Structure 1
């Protein structure tokens, strides 16, 4: 562990004007606050924040950031408060410490919810001051270096997976490639211990068989460039185990067949020298086609600049060579920490204005509907490679690999994506799902009448496009659910047969713990609140006067009671219109069969002049009746099962089911079901119309 004077001396070595008193006070406060706390390794807990501060000095960060590293766990793990930190160390340090602090008291139900809420707070704090991310990465790096002390294998793997999915990609996004490599290597060791050990052993065998090949190749490159008058610093190393493992998985190759396991860095005085060195190297050794990348003319999104090439060396191995200037090398080593403008954008704006990828992450926060979606989209945003395309005006747009014109449209502007109807790539009209290639010029065709198509989610790859499509689908579903819920509510209230005052509805919403009428409509549509609960909420005691019905119970049906008939007169319900309780009904005398009961709107009713109509009403003892539906479903597996499942869920017994129409796309069924009354049937029809398996459903009355 760094001693107090050693830490201060490190900071003063690169920043003689640093606030030495601030660092000393933070060091002492952290030790006193953490007291006798111990880490899993058995070391005093305060050794961890001190080591985190030491890592931050390697990035040559300012005194406030170093002090934040020293204090970053005090609010979470001790009795110290944000107010106390602000009083003793200033508002900036308190804000940074709070941004790094985890939410340790989140009332969440699942691990995903806790992880998502922590990530949400962290990203929001990072968007205002990027130093929050630098401290967090240093914190995670030291925790990963000591992860082996944790006894629980499950906990080690969970932390390693989070590091691999979130923190290593974040380090890459800000150009801290040294952090990224070490975080990935340490995570890989815990996630794939057998794979890690296997690659380490094979690298040892490779070194034993080839001697000091890295040193020989390094000397050869330096000599070649020196003979051409280029002064260069050349460094070489074997690629890290995780990098090798990833290439083995991506290319489905065995270790022995992997072409390039060594990488070399050439640092030259200026940009012209970098391109000249590239030409000399390509003249000496043949370049591997498709392996050259010019990140100097087209930097990565995090500002990384370098020339990358792969050549076939005379040692009979393929080697990767990176060529850059000293300034580019410093930026690649320290990322955005290499610039003193890391605190804010050049104009004093928050970090989210200086770094476009931060704005993308904030859009994920705004649009994610669930914790799972937030974590999924963040991981996708972190891991995507890039492809570069141009607008018709020549503006460069960076997109994830595999992006299509829809992704391009959303990258330019959300409104352009929402109204996209077609695209031209290099002047030629192409389908919206066409993958874009580097250098493509893309023109988006738009229409104000257009809206996002749910089918786009099947081929877009950018988080921004996918989030926009999902948001539109959620809005559409919510609109439909509100409409259906309003219908269900009207039916429920109609059972009371008396008007409800606004005060009664307001009181009912309070009893149901719902914010407003829309929340009630959604709850009814989603079946999270029952009809009976709504009735009892808006008018307490009203359900006591309603008869209790047990739907779907096996056994003999109770007889149907109809008022308006002479006692003892035989009657039957008409098969043509299948009237049910709640319908307006009339009776028609039929010779030999008694009275035939029809719905008032039955198309088969005889002309009144041809016979006497009887004004009838349903009696109070009515149990159930048969209603007929015509349902059209998609011709695909599971559609009929979905239909019958909804009927069963609503307590509707199927009396008869007949396939009436069929073609390659759709099937039409006539379904006879037992229902209690018209309201029961209306609920069933609404539920059927809401499912994707059912194209349409109508009641048959003739």
Structure 2
């Protein structure tokens, strides 16, 4: 563990103007606050924040960031408060410590919600000040270095998986490839121990068989470019086990077939020498097609710049070579942290290092669930990039397999919403066309256009998919509210008297709903019955005078089920819509209410018998919907006869669809509300007795489900 004077000397060595007193106060305060706390390794807990601070001194970060690292666990793990931190160390340090603390306090319970909440807080905090993220990444890196001390395997795997899924990609996105590589290696060793051991062993065997091959190739590269007057620092290394494992999985090859497991780096004085060295290497050895990438002329979104190529070396091995300047190398290793010295103490905010952070932050508002947030965020971070151009020559970076829809949303959300077509390299193409590197894309738009749900099937960027989903959800909600208002007006018209001015307000209170739009949406989706709405608007206006206190998935007035533990939620299956009197069975579903099916429902064939529950209707149960198929003669008045029978029998028509029409007959599918099976039987008997009705049947569950 670094001693107090050693840590301060490190900071002063690269920042002579650092606040030495601030660092000393932070060191002493943290040591006293953590007191006798110990880590899983048995070391004093205080050693952890000091090691995190030491990692950040290697990045030459400012005194406030180092102080934050020293204090980053005090609010979470000790009795210290944010107000105390602000009083002793200033508002800036207190804000940073609070930001790191919020990233660590995950209160959601489920795994997906916990991970999503973690990621959401990450995005919001780092968009305000990137130093919060730098401290948290250093914190996670040190935790991964000491992961083996944690006794519980499941906890080690959870931390390793979170590191692989979230922290390592974030380190990559801000250009900190050194952090990313070490995190991936440590996480891979924990998550795939057998694969890690196997690859490590094979690398040792190759090393023994080839001798000091890396050293020989390194010397040869330095001599080759030196003969042309280029002084270069040449570094050689074997690729990390995780990188090799990923290539094996992507290429579906064995280890013996994987040849490019060595990488070399030439660091030269200026950009001109980068391209000179590239020409020298390409003249000396044959290149591997498709492996050259110029990130100097078109940098990555995180600012990374370098030339990448791959050649077949004289020793009959494939090698990858990166060529860059000293400044590019510093940027490649430490990413956004490398810029700190040039910012003269100004906070590094989200807009200082790439629009991708803003795109990710936008996902927080657009995601409808934790799972969707994680899906979009991981999609945004993991995909390889291509480069396309606007007609004006502006460079747009996109994931591999991106389409014109993704391109349009990358330019601006409004442009994406109004997209009607696209031209790629001057030729009109379908919107689902996959873009290639270097394509020039012109988006054709119209103010009358709106996002289409079908776009989501081929859009690949998180921003495009989130925008499409958000619009579709809003459109569906608006349509449901409009439809619900039409049904609501019909319900009001059936009331026995005119409503008072505040009747709707009182009805919302009785139904425990926040506003009228919520009620209209529930009416449209049949999550509340006409009778419930009538009774809420005008108590006593229905025959039973009952209001359901909890919404149910299917309409009904009084439904109870025998065979379920009291308090267990249930829903009537929409595929077969059982009504009281039908033989029924329940199916257990994960994280959902028990689903009640009619015994003849074909869906039960796919449900494991161990999930079945023997059920029966409770005493007094009545109410439900059934779908009928009624064939009537094609003559005036037939539809009126059918509707009159429903009215006379007290059956409410929920939905009426003309399924088939020909010269002699009309086939209607009718969704009606009935009290129970006996009520349904009387309705069918009345229909069949009418001269205008040719046939009337209850639709089979599979047919009814298909008609939904």
TM-score using structure 1 length? 0.79
Aligned counterparts of 2:232 and 2:180: Cα–Cα separation in 1 = 26
Shift of the 354–168 alpha-carbon distance from structure 1 to 2, 3 Å rule, reads: closer
Question: Where do residues 419-498 of structure 1 align in structure 2 (5 Å cutoff)?
Answer: 419-493=418-492, 496-498=495-497
Shift of the 65–413 alpha-carbon distance from structure 1 to 2, 3 Å rule, reads: same
Q: CA deviation at 1:371?
A: 1.1
- Name 2:579's counterpart in structure 1: 552
Would you say 1:325 and 2:325 are equivalent positions? yes
RMSD (Å) for aligned C-alpha atoms: 3.6
Q: CA deviation at 1:544?
A: 7.2
Q: Is the 8 A contact 1:624 1:674 kept in 2?
A: no
Shift of the 131–672 alpha-carbon distance from structure 1 to 2, 3 Å rule, reads: farther
- Name 2:407's counterpart in structure 1: 408
Aligned counterparts of 1:512 and 1:104: Cα–Cα separation in 2 = 39
Question: Where do residues 478-557 of structure 1 align in structure 2 (5 Å cutoff)?
Answer: 478-493=477-492, 496-526=495-525, 528-529=527-528, 534=533, 537-539=536-538, 545-546=544-545, 552-554=579-581
Aligned counterparts of 2:84 and 2:15: Cα–Cα separation in 1 = 27
Q: Is the 8 A contact 1:305 1:328 kept in 2?
A: yes
Q: CA deviation at 1:471?
A: 1.1
Deviations 1:636-655 (A, max 9, x none): xxxxxxx9999999989699
Shift of the 672–212 alpha-carbon distance from structure 1 to 2, 3 Å rule, reads: farther
SS, match of residue 199 in structure 1: helix
- Name 1:293's counterpart in structure 2: 293
- Name 2:134's counterpart in structure 1: 134
Aligned counterparts of 1:242 and 1:422: Cα–Cα separation in 2 = 41
Q: Is the 8 A contact 1:15 1:62 kept in 2?
A: yes
Q: CA deviation at 1:352?
A: 2.9
Q: CA deviation at 1:112?
A: 1.9
Shift of the 644–296 alpha-carbon distance from structure 1 to 2, 3 Å rule, reads: farther
Shift of the 630–517 alpha-carbon distance from structure 1 to 2, 3 Å rule, reads: closer
Question: Where do residues 139-538 of structure 1 align in structure 2 (5 Å cutoff)?
Answer: 139-340=139-340, 350-352=349-351, 354-493=353-492, 496-526=495-525, 528-529=527-528, 534=533, 537-538=536-537
Q: CA deviation at 1:2?
A: 1.4
Aligned counterparts of 1:74 and 1:554: Cα–Cα separation in 2 = 64
- Name 1:683's counterpart in structure 2: none
Aligned counterparts of 1:603 and 1:337: Cα–Cα separation in 2 = 79
Aligned counterparts of 1:51 and 1:441: Cα–Cα separation in 2 = 49
Aligned counterparts of 1:174 and 1:152: Cα–Cα separation in 2 = 32
Shift of the 209–354 alpha-carbon distance from structure 1 to 2, 3 Å rule, reads: closer
Deviations 1:24-58 (A, max 9, x none): 11111112222222222222222211111111111
Deviations 1:462-498 (A, max 9, x none): 1111111111211121112212333444455556423
Aligned counterparts of 1:83 and 1:490: Cα–Cα separation in 2 = 56
- Name 2:56's counterpart in structure 1: 56
Q: CA deviation at 1:520?
A: 2.0
Name the count of aligned residue pairs.
611
Q: Is the 8 A contact 1:577 1:599 kept in 2?
A: no
Shift of the 229–111 alpha-carbon distance from structure 1 to 2, 3 Å rule, reads: same
Shift of the 601–474 alpha-carbon distance from structure 1 to 2, 3 Å rule, reads: same
Q: CA deviation at 1:183?
A: 0.8
Aligned counterparts of 2:78 and 2:529: Cα–Cα separation in 1 = 47
Aligned counterparts of 1:114 and 1:496: Cα–Cα separation in 2 = 48
- Name 2:116's counterpart in structure 1: 116
Q: Is the 8 A contact 1:263 1:320 kept in 2?
A: yes
Q: CA deviation at 1:542?
A: 5.9
TM-score using structure 2 length? 0.79
Shift of the 235–518 alpha-carbon distance from structure 1 to 2, 3 Å rule, reads: same
Aligned counterparts of 1:149 and 1:376: Cα–Cα separation in 2 = 31
SS, match of residue 237 in structure 1: strand
Deviations 1:648-681 (A, max 9, x none): 999896998xxxxxxxxxxxxx994679xxxxxx
Shift of the 394–152 alpha-carbon distance from structure 1 to 2, 3 Å rule, reads: same
Q: Which has the larger radius of gyration?
A: 1
SS, match of residue 386 in structure 2: strand
Q: CA deviation at 1:157?
A: 1.9
- Name 1:71's counterpart in structure 2: 71
Q: CA deviation at 1:302?
A: 0.9
Q: CA deviation at 1:625?
A: 9.1
Aligned counterparts of 2:638 and 2:673: Cα–Cα separation in 1 = 26
Q: Is the 8 A contact 1:129 1:344 kept in 2?
A: no
Q: Is the 8 A contact 1:199 1:245 kept in 2?
A: yes
Structure 2 runs not aligned, ≥5 long: 547-556, 560-577, 583-629, 661-668, 685-693
- Name 1:609's counterpart in structure 2: none
Q: CA deviation at 1:210?
A: 0.8
Aligned counterparts of 1:474 and 1:413: Cα–Cα separation in 2 = 20
- Name 2:640's counterpart in structure 1: 602
Aligned counterparts of 1:486 and 1:628: Cα–Cα separation in 2 = 15
Q: CA deviation at 1:186?
A: 1.0
Q: Is the 8 A contact 2:496 2:541 kept in 1?
A: no
Deviations 1:551-582 (A, max 9, x none): 82339xxxxxxxxxxxxxxxxxx98599xxxx
Aligned counterparts of 1:176 and 1:442: Cα–Cα separation in 2 = 31
Aligned counterparts of 1:213 and 1:106: Cα–Cα separation in 2 = 48
Q: Is the 8 A contact 2:232 2:267 kept in 1?
A: yes
Shift of the 478–236 alpha-carbon distance from structure 1 to 2, 3 Å rule, reads: same
Aligned counterparts of 1:604 and 1:541: Cα–Cα separation in 2 = 29
Aligned counterparts of 1:303 and 1:390: Cα–Cα separation in 2 = 18
Q: CA deviation at 1:353?
A: 5.5
Q: Is the 8 A contact 1:345 1:354 kept in 2?
A: no
Aligned counterparts of 1:673 and 1:342: Cα–Cα separation in 2 = 80
SS, match of residue 640 in structure 2: coil
Shift of the 457–319 alpha-carbon distance from structure 1 to 2, 3 Å rule, reads: same
